[in-house]
Structure 1
């Protein structure tokens, strides 16, 4: 049986081969910080269950340590309240609400943040504390401040970070409000997704500093952006290659959905194949166009339901070829999505690294290609 140190070394060696770890300082951090301290137990999905059931997987079970050092996200909380230790036997259902992100993504994001010795970093979302400990090892305890919204999650993280031998500044509070002391930082990294860049972040990161954040929405499409703060309250940046997703910060998540009634509306042919919004970037473009809508359905049978107004759009294949869309409510959701997707298709259907973002006090605009290209305002 391999030891924890051997498993860490093997994990990091694999990341190095895949060019996910290129900085020797982060290599040393990942080889030093024991991930098992942060995930003493977690939830495993039960294969074939619907709705998905989860069972606790605990320290001491066969394969537990090897699983900790597999490159996978480990679910540590359901529904904002249920932790593995709350389920002594059997299984439980629920929506994942906290996790230990797969290590390759954690390390890739620390690399993308482009930190240097002496940089002060504000981390939004302590989670299990594993990423926080990596940052403290690389940059020093005094240069890391981490904010966790959930006091139970934050308490467990604090204990694990201390057990690992680190002592960064830890805060329980709403990370979307930034550091309650209003301190200045060189970098900000968010391990949760947000619908827009919270204004306090743009005032607490120094001009020239960087913000790395995943932007999402109520259709749960995701794009990772790296912004440079250009002045207090202002920033610009680009979206990055790859596929990054995080749970949405709880204050930015959509309201609980009531039962959905599919009602009559106005029908017309759709100019685009609805299946395109089931793709990673196509769904992202659709979300930009209809930011307060929830997307359901699959393939060519899509449903968009606007949380704010109750507007709906539903698509279906036409027996004679093509597709039909039915719309109702004050917003013509499919008109908005259709125009955005057509602009993206006309640009060659680039991945999200073909998009950028400009942020000011008045608006936050995601644009395609260049800042004067097609664009969509985020719902600030």
Structure 2
């Protein structure tokens, strides 16, 4: 019996949509229709699977080739799952990849897992005849969903990697959705087709590039992840431009997940300290702060800025926060009312202070970001008054950027 790819993929797309609806992630009828129509197997014809365990260097990978019979079922299950799809190592060309095991390299492009893409596109509120700009679209899954929703000729992507830009454009053309991928610097947006009704950044940035705001049409929305140095506590920034006055409003909120940061952004990691922490969790002392809830996003996003240089080990048995550059850490519990600390930096004392100030400020869940400062500084505040939490976003220039 021959393999019917169309039947296999349409059934998996329907199951994916049903799962997203059942989980409460997918609520938009327009996006539901787009998810059923966009053939993911065209945009994601291959996928890397990591073989090595955490901390391995170099890393062993296995490349699944969707056209190969021995890989097909695993590949189809993967690209219709809720996992991120890994597509490119170290900016490699994508036309001559060989299936099977390969050693070394780090991922430079992926397709973000579907629940995050769905949540993002629903926050943007896509509708027919809007103009959409996707920044760092990678293989173009979100771009294809946007183009299917708003109509052909209205969705534009800007991708810095020339191999990925060509790869995405070729596959989008096969789908016939009428989306265009331009090779270029996503920080500059794409002025030629501006203004845009919806701008979505598929890369995390430390602050908002001015070109993005300038290219946003009145009354419309821009959504991006604000990347701090820690992957543990990302922020989501929603920017709107008021009709008539043109006033810019930008609201930051903490989120459980976000997009990976721009290329060249060095994330902190707790992995290298895991064995040492297990062997010596530190000196016990009383604490005035019970471990904050994982979903206290308003607190954690403030901590990412006001107690910088920290990263959480989510695989630890109890809450473990590490300052890797200072060789310091804190392990909460397991005994109630105690915390173990190690190193020259009292990590837990810093979190106690931030939490106390957060409570005094009224436990804010959102923060306003001022994008109007003529100096280029982007101040953040929880409100007015002496108890408000305040900080400024770091400029783009402080982040090293890799060349193509």
> Given the two structures, how large is their TM-score scaled by the length of structure 1?
0.79
Relative distance call for 1:68 and 1:357 in structure 2 (3 A) is same
CA contact 1:304–1:333 (8 Å) conserved in 2 = no
**Matches of 2:186 and 2:247, distance apart in 1:** 17
Classify 1:255/1:288 alpha carbon distance in 2 versus 1 (closer, same or farther; 3 Å): closer
Q: What's 2:303 paired with?
A: 286
Any gaps of 5 or more consecutive residues in structure 1? 261-268, 306-311
Task: Decide which of 249, 253, 258 is 1:235's aligned counterpart.
Answer: 249
**Deviation per residue, 1:17-66 (Å, 9 max, x gap):** 33333332222111111001111111112264641532111213133223
1:288-307 alignment to 2 at 5 Å?
288-290=305-307, 293=309, 295=311, 299-300=319-320, 302-305=322-325
Query: Which is richer in strand?
Result: 1
Residue in 2 that maps onto 1:213: 224
What RMSD over aligned residues (CA atoms) do the two structures have, in Å? 3.8
Larger mean CA deviation between 38-47 and 336-345 belongs to 336-345
Q: Which residue of the partner structure matches residue 399 of structure 2?
A: none
Paired residues of 2:62 and 2:99 also in contact (CA < 8 A): no
**Aligned residue number for residue 264 of structure 1:** none
- 8 Å CA contact 1:233–1:361 kept in 2: the answer is no
Q: Does 1:366 align with 2:380?
A: yes
In the alignment, which residue of structure 2 is the partner of 1:223? 235
Distance in 2 between residues matched to 1:126 and 1:47, nearest whole Å: 27
Shift of 1:165: 1.1
Asked if 1:343 is matched to 2:353, the reply is no
Mapping of residues 69-84 of structure 1, within 5 Å = 69-81=80-92
Question: How has the CA–CA distance of structure 1 residues 31 and 243 changed in structure 2, closer, same or farther, with 3 Å as cutoff?
Answer: same
Superposition map of 1:309-328 within 5 A: 312=326, 314-315=328-329, 322-324=339-341, 326-327=343-344
Quote the residue 2:260 is aligned against: 247
With over 3 angstroms needed to count, the CA separation of the structure-2 counterparts of 1:18 and 1:276, relative to structure 1, is closer
The equivalent position to 2:62 in structure 1, one of 55, 71, 93, is 55
Matched, 1:131 2:142: yes
Structure 1 residue 287, shift from structure 2 partner: 1.9
Deviations 1:160-182 (A, max 9, x none): 10011122232111111111437
Q: Displacement of 1:347 after TM fit?
A: 6.0
In structure 1, the residue matched to 2:171 is 160
Deviations 1:257-313 (A, max 9, x none): 9xx9xxxxxxxx89776976998846533321255x3647775562253xxxxxx47
The residue that corresponds to 2:391 in the other structure is 376
The CA deviation at 1:102 is 1.7
Separation (CA, whole Å) in 2 of partners of 1:208 and 1:276: 37
What secondary structure does 1:193 align onto?
coil
Tell me which of 9, 21, 38 is aligned to 2:14: 9
Q: Distance in 2 between matches of 1:156 and 1:359?
A: 37
- Structure 2 gaps of 5+ residues are 273-284, 333-337, 396-404
